[in-house]
Chain A
Amino acid sequence: MATPYAAHDYDVVVIGAGGAGLRAAIEAAAQGARTALVCKSLLGKAHTVMAEGGAAAALGNVWPEDTWQVHFRDTMRGGKLLNNWRMVEIYTREAPDRVLELEEYGAVFDRTPAGLISQRDFGGHRYARLAHVGDRTGLEIIRTLQYKLIHMGVDVFMETTVTRLLTDAGRIAGAFGYRRDTGEFLVFRTKAVVLATGGFGKVWKYTSMSWESTGDGIALALDAGADLIDTEMVQFHPTGMVWPPGARGILVTEGVRGDGGVLRNSEGRRFMFDHIPEFFKEETAETEAEADRWYTDKKNRRPPELIPRDEVTRAIYAEVKAGRGSPHGGVFLDIATRRSPDYIRKRLPSMYHQFMELAGVDITREPMEVYPTCHYSMGGVRVDPETEAGTVPGLFAAGELAAGLHGANRLGGNSLTDILVFGRRAGLYAAQYARTAGGAAPAAEQIDDAAQDLLAPFAASGGESPYAIQADLQEVMQEHVGIYRDEAGMRAALTKIDALKIRARAVRAEGPREYNPGWHATRDLYSMLTVAEVVTRAALERRETRGGHSRTDYPQTDPEWGRVNVVVRKLRGELVLDRVPIPEMPAELRALLEVT
């Protein structure tokens, strides 16, 4: 029996309303496309709001020496050269315009004395490059885009979850979902879908991400037949809170280190000097004195606390493992002895507030305790660098969900600009595609099947609630597919994931369909289990250590693995792995990498 639903017709449907989704919807609407924006939360609450440090762009306002070429070099090296060079080129060339455009929309960044956008230091960036507003840059960007969007004639479907992309002869034909407040079903008939659902950190126990980051876009794209790449590359940000337990995983911005903070172990030593990898030796300071001069004079080499995140994460892991950790199992992040209380409160107001309110720690007087926390997924939907088109016609992806820009490891500050550059391009090319593509209509059977799937938990008898399965999955991934991985652990994880999938098949929802989080969680669980299997399978495949993928059984970086991306796709309901060669970089861009 067909289930009732409300139908809507659009040219472009954007799924996800963080920075990438908002920017895509703004652009699609500007192109004249009838555009819908669908988001799981209220507008303006998406995970972008939590970004702290800033948006990287070679504006050259603080260091005129900075150019897109230096930004290109830094991003490629930070990504351990697994990046798609063309995406990095487009990105670093367009980044300044996208940041300046935000000012036209009303953003108010911190200023230089000359009245231009101020820029701050961050890990892996040669020059102070991040446009910022204190340590609440993400809030500034999402609010700016939100208030631009509401005057663009875009229809916004808040608190609405898309559960399936609908296809017609292998092309996108629509999307099926439900309103969280009423539980009613919706069908969007559209030729183009932009997926901008963000990351999937909720699959781990300790994460800096919000509840929404369940990887819905990964499941939607796979089920529609799209390729994913680089999904084994998961960034564990070096500094998350460790205490109190309820706050564990909450982000401590890299801006603390950019603004002068240092990492110390239980012996008080700045241990990062002991963990400088060969790859970054030439550009990293060897003494504390040299490191401290760098903040004001870039002729010195960078402090080791500011090498890319994957390296700092491995170092913290090693220090704690060697028994030199802090009382709650982290290390110390100290800015109190390095900068004045006024400076700290002015530059890092949210950090001051966060530690004071949640941990009772005054960061102007005491060190913070920090440990790595799951923060970002470099991998995701495989896209065309120019148009952000996925491998399924009509499907586009941008932001954290898309892969290629960041390679094996993302530099801080490169995400807030990523969402602007590629959000805009995805919206632009989705609108263009919708203008020229032939008609597509979703089959009634697909819609009915999607509806039945969603309702199944209400009919399950004797099943369990989704929360326990979710928690067990997070434990499995934290234990076996965390900062360090090995074959035995990941095989154990796959066995456990299989068992969780069986439990999930009988998962039960109780109560009405109106605003029922237990029911919503059954759907999140499907996405999370999909992500867990995808990441683990891809991580098993890549037998080396590189960027956000560290293996105890293959601790070396292998040049052969540097030539390929690991692909995951779904064929007849089963995940299939493949490898594709990374496109060859032109000589003139390769030459940029050699410059130190």
Chain B
Amino acid sequence: MKAGDKVTLRVWRGTRAGGAFQEYEVEPAPGMVVLDALRQAQAAQAPDLAIRWNCKAGKCGSCSAEVNGRPVLTCMTRLEELPEEGPVTVAPMKTFPLIKDLVTDVSWNYAKAKEIPPFAPGPKDPDGKRRMYQEDVERIQEFRKCIECFLCQNVCHVIRDHPENKPAFSGPRFFIHLANLDMHPWDTADRTALIREQAGLGFCNITKCCSDVCPEKIHITDNGIIPLKERVVDNYYDPILWLWRKVTGRTK
């Protein structure tokens, strides 16, 4: 993107009933991100352009969209990173039903979250305190970095092209949430059946698309899904091992 040149945005405008890309010219500024450009178009030319955003600092995960076909946070995607040639195309996430323009109905994710039984800690230490060690929580802290932007859900081909799988599949976001609960040193609940059945972990064939788009760079597949698959197999065939892990708080 050359300094001084106007930037052309091609933005999807429409509802479930239909729509089309519409072009807006915006004035670039140094370090400008796609969300800045969209808001400039909104303020000057299209006040009713629907965008979902909040923090504009990559922390809340609201402004997910597909920019030039790539699923990103629009607040963390600088125009300078994009090819100089041609317009910047911004489309809504494909996997979720459209509400309007760039805003999709992500309520499926909230419904899936509710299906997962909550954290269930065991008893405290005899002195009334609770202890866990940094080396034992480092891995789940990685999962807990998730900002729920749902980009991993959006690219997961189990549901992206097959909405019929949605009722029996939770998607990568909730696999790492389950891994976070399962690997928590204090947790006592057994979610093995849920992970195998309602959450549909078996659908995942480890193509790592989710890890590729994660703005928090969480190793969703390598550190979350694969160990979870192994644990589910172990727990399923060896309930004693599961119990031993829960009693000792050991994750390995």
Q: Is the CB of A143 within 8 A of B57?
A: no
Q: Shortest distance in angstroms between B110's beta carbon and chain A's nearest beta carbon?
A: 7
Q: Is the CB of B32 within 8 A of A246?
A: yes
Among residues of A, the one whose C-beta sits closest to the C-beta of B35 is A246
What residues on A are CB-neighbors of B51 within 8 Å?
Answer: 517
Among residues of A, the one whose C-beta sits closest to the C-beta of B101 is A515
Q: Does A357 contact B (CB under 8 A)?
A: yes
Q: Does A251 contact B (CB under 8 A)?
A: yes
Q: Does A343 contact B (CB under 8 A)?
A: no
Among residues of A, the one whose C-beta sits closest to the C-beta of B57 is A250
**Residues in A475-522 with C-beta less than 8 Å from chain B:** 509-512, 514-519, 521
Q: Is the CB of B43 within 8 A of A245?
A: no
Of the candidates A46, A105, A150, the one whose C-beta lies within 8 Å of that of B114 is A150
Given contacts A246-B33, A510-B47, A517-B49, contact A150 B131 (CB under 8 A): no
Q: Mark A69-102, 1 if CB is under 8 A from B, else 0.
A: 0000000000000000000000000000000100
Q: Does A350 contact B (CB under 8 A)?
A: yes
Q: Mark B126-152, 1 if CB is under 8 A from A, else 0.
A: 000111111001001100111110000
Q: Shortest distance in angstroms between A312's beta carbon and chain B's nearest beta carbon?
A: 21
Of the candidates A111, A143, A211, A358, the one whose C-beta lies within 8 Å of that of B54 is A211
**Residues in A152-176 with C-beta less than 8 Å from chain B:** 158
In the docked arrangement, what's the CA distance between A301 and B176, Å?
44
Among residues of B, the one whose C-beta sits closest to the C-beta of A241 is B57
Among residues of A, the one whose C-beta sits closest to the C-beta of B45 is A465
Q: Does B158 contact A (CB under 8 A)?
A: no
Of the candidates A49, A150, A516, the one whose C-beta lies within 8 Å of that of B113 is A150
Q: Shortest distance in angstroms between A16's beta carbon and chain B's nearest beta carbon?
A: 13
Q: Does B21 contact A (CB under 8 A)?
A: no
Q: Shortest distance in angstroms between A45's beta carbon and chain B's nearest beta carbon?
A: 4
Among residues of A, the one whose C-beta sits closest to the C-beta of B129 is A116
Q: Does B36 contact A (CB under 8 A)?
A: yes
In the docked arrangement, what's the CA distance between A114 and B131, Å?
8
In the docked arrangement, what's the CA distance between A244 and B32, Å?
8
What residues on B are CB-neighbors of A113 within 8 Å?
Answer: 134
**Residues in B32-64 with C-beta less than 8 Å from chain A:** 32-33, 36, 42-44, 47-62
Q: Does B227 contact A (CB under 8 A)?
A: no
Q: Does B90 contact A (CB under 8 A)?
A: no
Q: Is the CB of A139 within 8 A of B145?
A: yes
Q: Is the CB of B30 within 8 A of A244?
A: yes
Partner-contacting stretch, out of A36-44, A265-273, A287-295, A448-456: A36-44
Given contacts A106-B118, A514-B100, A521-B47, contact A43 B110 (CB under 8 A): yes
Q: Is the CB of B181 within 8 A of A106?
A: yes
What residues on B are CB-neighbors of A108 within 8 Å?
Answer: 132, 137, 140-141, 144, 184
Give chain B's interface residue range (CB within 8 Å of chain A). Answer: 35 or more
Q: Is the CB of A151 within 8 A of B48?
A: no
Q: Does A63 contact B (CB under 8 A)?
A: no
In the docked arrangement, what's the CA distance between A559 and B133, Å?
49
Q: Mark A104-142, 1 if CB is under 8 A from B, else 0.
A: 111010110111100000000000000001101011100
What residues on B are CB-neighbors of A105 within 8 Å?
Answer: 119
In the docked arrangement, what's the CA distance between A139 and B52, Å?
19
Q: Is the CB of B113 within 8 A of A467?
A: no
Q: Is the CB of A140 within 8 A of B144?
A: yes
Q: Shortest distance in angstroms between B36's beta carbon and chain A's nearest beta carbon?
A: 4
In the docked arrangement, what's the CA distance between A46 and B60, Å?
8
In the docked arrangement, what's the CA distance between A116 and B129, Å?
8
Of the candidates B60, B76, B137, the one whose C-beta lies within 8 Å of that of A49 is B60
Q: Which of B42, B145, B187 has the most CB of A within 10 A?
A: B145
What residues on A are CB-neighbors of B53 within 8 Å?
Answer: 211
**Residues in A216-275 with C-beta less than 8 Å from chain B:** 243-247, 250-251
What residues on B are CB-neighbors of A106 within 8 Å?
Answer: 118-119, 121, 181, 184, 187
In the docked arrangement, what's the CA distance between A509 and B141, Å?
44
Of the candidates B29, B55, B113, the one whose C-beta lies within 8 Å of that of A147 is B113
**Residues in A374-432 with C-beta less than 8 Å from chain B:** none
| Interface size counted on chain A using CB atoms at 8 A | 66
Q: Is the CB of B106 within 8 A of A510?
A: no
Among residues of A, the one whose C-beta sits closest to the C-beta of B37 is A246
Q: Is the CB of A354 within 8 A of B57?
A: yes
In the docked arrangement, what's the CA distance between A140 and B180, Å?
13
Q: Which of B36, B43, B48, B76 has the most CB of A within 10 A?
A: B48
What residues on A are CB-neighbors of B31 within 8 Å?
Answer: 243-247, 358-359
Of the candidates B105, B131, B132, B144, the one whose C-beta lies within 8 Å of that of A133 is B144
In the docked arrangement, what's the CA distance between A417 and B101, Å?
38
**Residues in A510-552 with C-beta less than 8 Å from chain B:** 510-512, 514-519, 521
Q: Does B15 contact A (CB under 8 A)?
A: yes
What residues on A are CB-neighbors of B47 within 8 Å?
Answer: 465-467, 509-511, 516-518, 521
What residues on B are CB-neighbors of A45 within 8 Å?
Answer: 54-55, 60-62, 148
Of the candidates B50, B121, B131, the one whose C-beta lies within 8 Å of that of A515 is B50
Q: Is the CB of B48 within 8 A of A44?
A: no
What residues on B are CB-neighbors of A114 within 8 Å?
Answer: 131
What residues on B are CB-neighbors of A110 within 8 Å?
Answer: 134, 141
Q: Does A212 contact B (CB under 8 A)?
A: yes
In the docked arrangement, what's the CA distance between A322 and B162, Å?
63
Q: Is the CB of B42 within 8 A of A44?
A: no
What residues on A are CB-neighbors of B48 within 8 Å?
Answer: 509-512, 516-519
In the docked arrangement, what's the CA distance between A200 and B76, Å?
24
Q: Does A314 contact B (CB under 8 A)?
A: no
Q: Is the CB of B60 within 8 A of A467?
A: no
Q: Does A47 contact B (CB under 8 A)?
A: yes
What residues on B are CB-neighbors of A243 within 8 Å?
Answer: 30-31
Q: Is the CB of B121 within 8 A of A50?
A: no
What residues on B are CB-neighbors of A511 within 8 Å?
Answer: 47-48
Q: Mark A439-476, 1 if CB is under 8 A from B, else 0.
A: 00000000000000000000000000111100100000
In the docked arrangement, what's the CA distance between A47 and B62, Å?
12
Among residues of B, the one whose C-beta sits closest to the C-beta of A40 is B54
Q: Shortest distance in angstroms between B33's beta carbon and chain A's nearest beta carbon?
A: 6
Q: Does A282 contact B (CB under 8 A)?
A: no
Q: Does B166 contact A (CB under 8 A)?
A: no
Can you list 23 A-B contacts (CB < 8 A)?
Answer: A42-B62, A45-B54, A49-B60, A50-B57, A108-B132, A108-B141, A110-B141, A111-B134, A113-B134, A136-B145, A147-B118, A148-B118, A150-B114, A181-B103, A244-B29, A250-B56, A467-B42, A467-B43, A515-B100, A515-B103, A516-B50, A517-B49, A521-B47
Q: Which chain B residues have a beta carbon within 8 Å of chain A's beta carbons?
A: 15, 29-33, 36, 42-44, 47-62, 76, 78, 99-101, 103, 105-106, 110, 113-114, 118-119, 121, 129-134, 137, 140-141, 144-148, 181, 184, 187
Given contacts A45-B148, A100-B130, A245-B32, 9 further A-B contacts (CB under 8 A): A110-B134, A113-B134, A210-B56, A211-B53, A244-B30, A245-B30, A466-B47, A511-B48, A517-B51
